[in-house]
Structure 1
Amino acid sequence: MKIDYLKIENYRQYKGPLYLKFSKDENKNFTIIKGTNGAGKTNFLNAITWCLYEKELHKNTGGAIYNDLLVNEIINGESFEVSVELGMTDSKNRNVTILRKLKFTKNDNKIYKDVFSDSQLSVRIIVNGNDKFLEHPELYIQKNLPEKIEGYFFFDGEKLEDYFDDNSGDNIKEAVFKISQINLFNNLNKHLISLERSINKDFKKLDTDFADFLEIKQKLNDKIRLNKKEIEESSFLLNKTKKDLKIVDEDLRKIDHSDKNLLDEQKQKLNIEIEKLDKREEKLDNDKKNLVIKYFPLILAYKPFKKFVELGSDLEEKGFIPPLYKKKFLETLMENEKCICGNELKLNSESYNKIQKLHELTFGVTDISEEINIELNNLKNEIKRIQRFSTKQKEYNAEIRDIRNQRIEKNEDLENVNFKLSQIDHDEIQRLIKRKNDLDDQKDKYVGKVAYSKNSIDFTSKELLNIEKKEIKVNNDSENALKLKKKLDFCKDAIIASESLKSKLIENIRNKIEKLTNDQFKKLMWKENFTMVKVDEYYNIDLVNKARNLVSPNDISAGERLALALSFVAALNQISGFDLPLIIDTPMGRLDKEIKTNIAKTLPNYVEGKQVVLLVTGEEYTSKFKSDIIECVGKEYEIRVFETDNGTESRIL
């Protein structure tokens, strides 16, 4: 279908009546509508979607749908209509007019919508020169311009990159199926299965044996279908889980929780080392206490012992210990008055007097010098023990000081580690790790479900084959049974063929989309950073760089992402089963100058045969862009804003 004209009256900033013709020339298939931001480009697009679906599907939909300037011009009690009329030519070259209007009334300086009706929609088709108004205009629109795929034909260029959000694969796959009308195969399969069951009912009426076979076969076939559906659903969920795992891994990588793990290890190690130091100090304190208890009596006796040793040393210096002779010995000589040599010692003799004098000078201690000497040596040994206690005590004190210094250092290190850990979002890491573990469990579950369902299909298929062999022997005896069996076999073969054709068509469409997207993207991107665009079976889109690594669209620049999205949407239009115009609002908002130039050069060829409407700003529609695309432009307009005392309106000139 192609748009012939658009007529707008009293819709938002377009007071009108505004009448705009579009270029339908195959060689000049572009219509350019230029306007500044806020002039009404997006509402021009909204006017079309409101006319078709009674919905303003694009941004800037705040405020009333009617024109403010008109409201200020009319008087109370006066009514007016908001209307948008779309003139088109369908695939049969018939003129089609789609009109939607909504009535309002002004009372008490307020605007009220007509309470007796919602907006009125009409579709008029001119057939053989006669007007034909359709009884169900909504059905015509949903069949020829379905709302579900509107966003791939009428869209905002600045929002194209939203196609690559986290759930883009699911959304894109659904859109591809709608656009390429793959879902028609589902309707075909439902019809064939319904027909199969209807034949089965006729079959059951023939004979009890037939009914038994049919019931068993039906159960086995239903089981196989359920297993196939389980494989499809589990495979889809498995792929989604893998995507989610990739996102979680990327989030964990961004947080760099490896640092957190290292810090946790350091913290654990420091706590263990501090605990060991605490235990060592406690042991040393106990040993030190036990040492004091052990040496306490000696410590108390240290001074007397030392005094005794000093006295002993004095006696040694004076020669009394060990003595040359004992005082008792001298007394014996004097008592016996006889020398040890045998000579007599007479009283008052010179020799006797000398011995007597010597006796007076000799201390009595000489008589116990041996005992004193023994005790003196014992005390010296005890003093040495006391000195060893002092040395040991100093060693304990030194080691305890060293331990305390080490603990201070360890505590400082621990405080530093705790500070670094405090800067890390532990809750987020734990959430991501838990999410990762949950996803790993989900992945294993879906892998198991797929494997189980495949094994179940193999086993059930063998059961079904055995039943069919037995059934053949019975059915050969019945002509009616054979006829019904042929019908059943046809339905079965048709279902298998339909599913096979659907799978092949899906793969062909995916390959074609991948190729078309590749071709266009390479033309738009002047830098050869990427070697190809890859579209997997679940429509997850990635780029392959020169190093052959996959690059997510979320990891490239905004300009590159927009160019990729534009390439992809153009590819969807190529494979679409709908011949609809392509209307793009702000197609090159974020693109670099070079990409804009490439779009101007390549887009006309890429959308050859399609009617294209570009709603552009002056920054987009530069003289360079205009000169590159001018040969394809059939119509060119400009939206201008006019200010009056009663309000503002936009006109297209």
Structure 2
Amino acid sequence: MTNLQILSITLKDYRQYKGEQTIDLRKRGERHINVIEGQNGAGKSNILNSITFCFYGTEEHLKEEKEGGLETFPLVNRDRLEDLNDGGKATGYVEIELGETEPEYVFKREFTTVKTDGGFNSVVGDLNLQRRVNRDWKPVDNPNTYLNEILPTRVHEYFLFDGERLHKFFEEGYPERVRTAILDVSHIELLNRALEHLDKMDTEIGRKASNFKGEAKRLKEELDETKRKHERKEKRIDELERDIAEAQSNIDRIDGKLRDSSDAAVREKQERRKYLNQRLDQLNDEISELKDETTEEMVDAGPIVYNLKALDFTHQQFAELAQAGQLPPKIQDWFVQELLESGECICGADLDSDEEKRRHLAELEQEMSLVMQENLEGKAEIPRVIDDGKDLVEDIISNRKKISEKQDELGEVDRELRDISNELKSYDLPEDVDVSSLESQRSEIEGRISEMRQEIGRVEHEIETLDERVNELDNKWREEAAKETKHRTMMRKLDFVEEAHEELTEIKSTILAQIRENTEENMNRYFNDLIWKNEDYTVELGDDYTVSVYGRHGDNKIGSLSAGEKQVLALSFMSALTKISGFNAPIVIDTPLGRISSKPKKRIAQNLPSYLVDTQITFLMTDEEYTDEVRAHLQNSVANEYLLDYSNEITEVKER
């Protein structure tokens, strides 16, 4: 199922839409963009709500209001309800046609509103589906199964979303939202179910293993408890890493505010700190690289240094033998070869008739060849080995000197960073950003990050110790359990379950890593396509699901993005998810340019026609978004254009 589009939406007495109104949204050739324009309150957002209501029985734009108890308006159009007596009811529906070029699926959900003394009660009906089979339309008994193949509930918010809220996506706590979104579109439900099944099997086998007696039972109980400790430690690592990512995003936000200070000295110190932090990372990388290189050189140099006296002695012996004329040997292998070929020894013996003498000379030839080769190779090789050892020792000394120099510089950088922090804490600029307070917050957060990293180090060491203990106990337990024949089949099952779990976990990890890489690539492209500034950015998605936006000077701007820039970043992320999700469903965006000021809208409008060109996109815009300039840039890509005419609490959809 590919390239599906919403061919039409029919609203029957839904919210502001009185009567039956059909909105045709099908693409026209290469024109893949629909625009529905309406003022605030005219029912623009209820177009998005009608789609999620029909498919999933929930109104996306009103979800938060309903959860807060603010939902008071009935589903059925109020004008229809005015003439009803208490207890009277009226019905309506939302119907959506889906297909590639012609309708293939018609989803429909009805609703009923009852008038009561206290107001209105609305009842939502079940989802219905008619599917075209050849030329006939047939009802489907399991509509949600088909909908799940087209656009599952867990991913619909990445295709049908409220652009007005996008700027909040990358605010506090965003790494967890990014992680959840990537997991939602990763298509790993089957793997997760398989892993859950294997966990159940492991538990079941473990339950049977609890029936063991004696030493096997004791070992199994200790093994299970050690595994539980291991699991708790790993969960703690995950918690700390998420907390560090969140804390780092808060530091980025504070840095952005400090860079925006009107005080030149504050901005200068912030820029200096940015450089020093980059230099700090660079020095740490260089020191780590030098230490690794030095370790490798010490491994290579060790055997040479420890055997240097023996090598010098052997080299001296070779020199003395050569000086005495004993190297090369007096008897050359070629001379012996000539005797064998002539058939006569230097003593006059006939070698052809004396097999024993001929064999003796042949053995002498092989021996002289080997002695000559080994001595000549050794004579040439040993000086090179000694020289290599001396060079390695010199490199080790040089590297240790470089490490010491870089560690000194590291200390100087660290001291300067502390000085900058202390100076900023003392700033008092009442009409500017609260530099002192921000810097104090920053120092506190850095302190927490340092403490959390130290804790991660301790917990990782504890995990290593637990790993060793788990392996030790597991081997002992298996050995003890296998002593009884009746347990051997169960142990083979356990081996299979554990190996399968390990393989599936590795596959899952590989898939998620690839998805992160693809998301980063698409996100980087979309952000640079849509952002209005004449500057190239590099968007990176980290293993911890943090997002970095680097400018041309290498500074991370994620903490200083404006609301409009955050909206573009979130829009780019959503688009990247739709691209890699595998679901070629249509996209509907309510208020796509709501946080974008007038000047940047031009750049975005210029790039929107080439944005997800293979996907049907419907924009729900206000008149402030859909300006004449924006309309001019989009006109060659717009398939359908509508205006919502709102009057007396009733909206009529009109072609523009």
TM-score band, normalised by shorter chain: 0.5 to 0.7
CA distance in 2, matches of 1:206, 1:76: 70
1:8 to 1, 7, 11: 11
Using the TM superposition, give the Cα deviation of residue 448 of structure 1 relative to its aligned residue in structure 2, in angstroms: 3.6
User: Alpha-carbon deviations, 1:56-93, whole Å to 9, x = none?
Assistant: 332699762343433456678764224323333599x9
1:201 to 194, 197, 207: 207
CA distance in 1, matches of 2:608, 2:141: 37
User: Alpha-carbon deviations, 1:76-121, whole Å to 9, x = none?
Assistant: 8764224323333599x952423131223488xx95436xxx3222
**In the alignment, what sits opposite 2:502?**
496
**In the alignment, what sits opposite 2:230?**
224
Q: Secondary structure of the residue that 1:17 maps to in structure 2?
A: strand
1:447 to 450, 453, 472: 453
TM-score when normalising by structure 1: 0.62
CA contact (8 A) 1:3 1:22 kept: yes
2:462 to 456, 460, 463: 456
User: Alpha-carbon deviations, 1:210-244, whole Å to 9, x = none?
Assistant: 43443333333333222222211222123223334
User: Alpha-carbon deviations, 1:307-336, whole Å to 9, x = none?
Assistant: xxxxxxxxxxxxxxxxxxxxxxxxxxxxxx
**In the alignment, what sits opposite 2:296?**
none
**In the alignment, what sits opposite 2:91?**
81
CA distance in 2, matches of 1:251, 1:526: 21
**In the alignment, what sits opposite 2:49?**
46
* Structure having the higher Rg: 1
CA distance in 2, matches of 1:485, 1:24: 60
Q: How does 1:221-620 map to 2 (within 5 A)?
A: 221-247=227-253, 439=445, 442-471=448-477, 473-474=479-480, 477=483, 480-525=486-531, 527-552=533-558, 554-591=559-596, 596=601, 598-600=603-605, 602-618=607-623, 620=625
CA contact (8 A) 1:641 1:650 kept: yes
Using the TM superposition, give the Cα deviation of residue 572 of structure 1 relative to its aligned residue in structure 2, in angstroms: 1.6
Using the TM superposition, give the Cα deviation of residue 548 of structure 1 relative to its aligned residue in structure 2, in angstroms: 1.0
CA contact (8 A) 1:51 1:99 kept: yes
**In the alignment, what sits opposite 1:637?**
642
Using the TM superposition, give the Cα deviation of residue 458 of structure 1 relative to its aligned residue in structure 2, in angstroms: 1.4
In the superposition, relative to structure 1, how do residues 62 and 486 fare at CA in structure 2: closer, same or farther (>3 Å)? closer
Using the TM superposition, give the Cα deviation of residue 17 of structure 1 relative to its aligned residue in structure 2, in angstroms: 0.9
Q: Match for 1:48: what amino acid?
A: I
CA contact (8 A) 2:130 2:139 kept: yes
Q: Match for 2:127: what amino acid?
A: S
**In the alignment, what sits opposite 1:409?**
none
Q: Match for 1:120: what amino acid?
A: G
Report the aligned-residue RMSD. Answer: 4.3
Identical residues among aligned pairs (%): 24
**In the alignment, what sits opposite 1:23?**
26
CA contact (8 A) 1:18 1:652 kept: no
In the superposition, relative to structure 1, how do residues 544 and 423 fare at CA in structure 2: closer, same or farther (>3 Å)? closer
Structure 1, unpaired ranges of 5+: 260-419
CA contact (8 A) 2:538 2:550 kept: yes
CA contact (8 A) 1:122 1:133 kept: no
Q: Secondary structure of the residue that 1:546 maps to in structure 2?
A: coil
CA distance in 1, matches of 2:152, 2:158: 11
CA distance in 2, matches of 1:436, 1:525: 29
CA distance in 2, matches of 1:90, 1:482: 57
CA contact (8 A) 1:640 1:652 kept: yes
Q: How does 1:35-114 map to 2 (within 5 A)?
A: 35-58=38-61, 64-65=73-74, 66-72=76-82, 79-89=89-99, 95-105=105-115, 112-113=120-121
Using the TM superposition, give the Cα deviation of residue 439 of structure 1 relative to its aligned residue in structure 2, in angstroms: 4.2
CA contact (8 A) 1:90 1:96 kept: no
User: Alpha-carbon deviations, 1:222-275, whole Å to 9, x = none?
Assistant: 33222222211222123223334555677789699x99xxxxxxxxxxxxxxxx
CA distance in 1, matches of 2:600, 2:165: 17
- Most deviating of 500-509 and 53-62: 53-62
TM-score when normalising by structure 2: 0.62
User: Alpha-carbon deviations, 1:176-230, whole Å to 9, x = none?
Assistant: 2223345665544333222112122334546645434433333333332222222
CA contact (8 A) 2:91 2:111 kept: yes
User: Alpha-carbon deviations, 1:17-75, whole Å to 9, x = none?
Assistant: 11223316784433332334443212222222333444433269976234343345667
Q: Secondary structure of the residue that 2:593 maps to in structure 1?
A: coil
Q: Secondary structure of the residue that 2:17 maps to in structure 1?
A: coil
Aligned length: 482
Q: Secondary structure of the residue that 1:120 maps to in structure 2?
A: strand
Q: Match for 2:231: what amino acid?
A: R
**In the alignment, what sits opposite 1:364?**
none
Q: Secondary structure of the residue that 2:61 maps to in structure 1?
A: coil
In the superposition, relative to structure 1, how do residues 540 and 421 fare at CA in structure 2: closer, same or farther (>3 Å)? closer
Q: Secondary structure of the residue that 1:15 maps to in structure 2?
A: strand
| Residues 1:649 and 2:651 aligned together | yes
CA distance in 2, matches of 1:444, 1:12: 54
CA distance in 1, matches of 2:577, 2:221: 44
| Residues 1:121 and 2:123 aligned together | no
CA distance in 1, matches of 2:632, 2:443: 57
CA distance in 1, matches of 2:475, 2:458: 26
CA contact (8 A) 1:16 1:651 kept: no
| Residues 1:168 and 2:170 aligned together | no
CA distance in 2, matches of 1:624, 1:249: 35
- Most deviating of 430-439 and 205-214: 430-439
**In the alignment, what sits opposite 2:350?**
none
CA contact (8 A) 2:428 2:436 kept: no
CA distance in 2, matches of 1:252, 1:625: 34
Using the TM superposition, give the Cα deviation of residue 145 of structure 1 relative to its aligned residue in structure 2, in angstroms: 4.5
In the superposition, relative to structure 1, how do residues 527 and 234 fare at CA in structure 2: closer, same or farther (>3 Å)? closer
Q: Match for 1:49: what amino acid?
A: T
Using the TM superposition, give the Cα deviation of residue 493 of structure 1 relative to its aligned residue in structure 2, in angstroms: 2.3
Using the TM superposition, give the Cα deviation of residue 131 of structure 1 relative to its aligned residue in structure 2, in angstroms: 4.0
CA distance in 1, matches of 2:519, 2:244: 23
CA distance in 2, matches of 1:457, 1:590: 47
| Residues 1:33 and 2:36 aligned together | yes
In the superposition, relative to structure 1, how do residues 572 and 20 fare at CA in structure 2: closer, same or farther (>3 Å)? same
CA contact (8 A) 1:39 1:650 kept: no
CA distance in 2, matches of 1:464, 1:38: 62
Q: Match for 1:613: what amino acid?
A: T
CA contact (8 A) 2:519 2:577 kept: yes
**In the alignment, what sits opposite 1:215?**
221
Q: Match for 1:80: what amino acid?
A: A
Q: Match for 1:29: what amino acid?
A: H
CA distance in 2, matches of 1:7, 1:534: 42
In the superposition, relative to structure 1, how do residues 497 and 453 fare at CA in structure 2: closer, same or farther (>3 Å)? farther
CA distance in 1, matches of 2:91, 2:511: 47
CA distance in 1, matches of 2:198, 2:104: 35
Q: Match for 1:23: what amino acid?
A: R
Q: Match for 1:218: what amino acid?
A: D
Q: Match for 1:611: what amino acid?
A: Q
Using the TM superposition, give the Cα deviation of residue 516 of structure 1 relative to its aligned residue in structure 2, in angstroms: 0.6
Q: Secondary structure of the residue that 2:575 maps to in structure 1?
A: helix
User: Alpha-carbon deviations, 1:415-468, whole Å to 9, x = none?
Assistant: xxxxx999869xx99987876676456434432432222112211222233334
CA contact (8 A) 1:69 1:649 kept: no
CA distance in 2, matches of 1:182, 1:600: 36
Using the TM superposition, give the Cα deviation of residue 648 of structure 1 relative to its aligned residue in structure 2, in angstroms: 3.9
In the superposition, relative to structure 1, how do residues 95 and 464 fare at CA in structure 2: closer, same or farther (>3 Å)? same
CA distance in 2, matches of 1:525, 1:250: 18
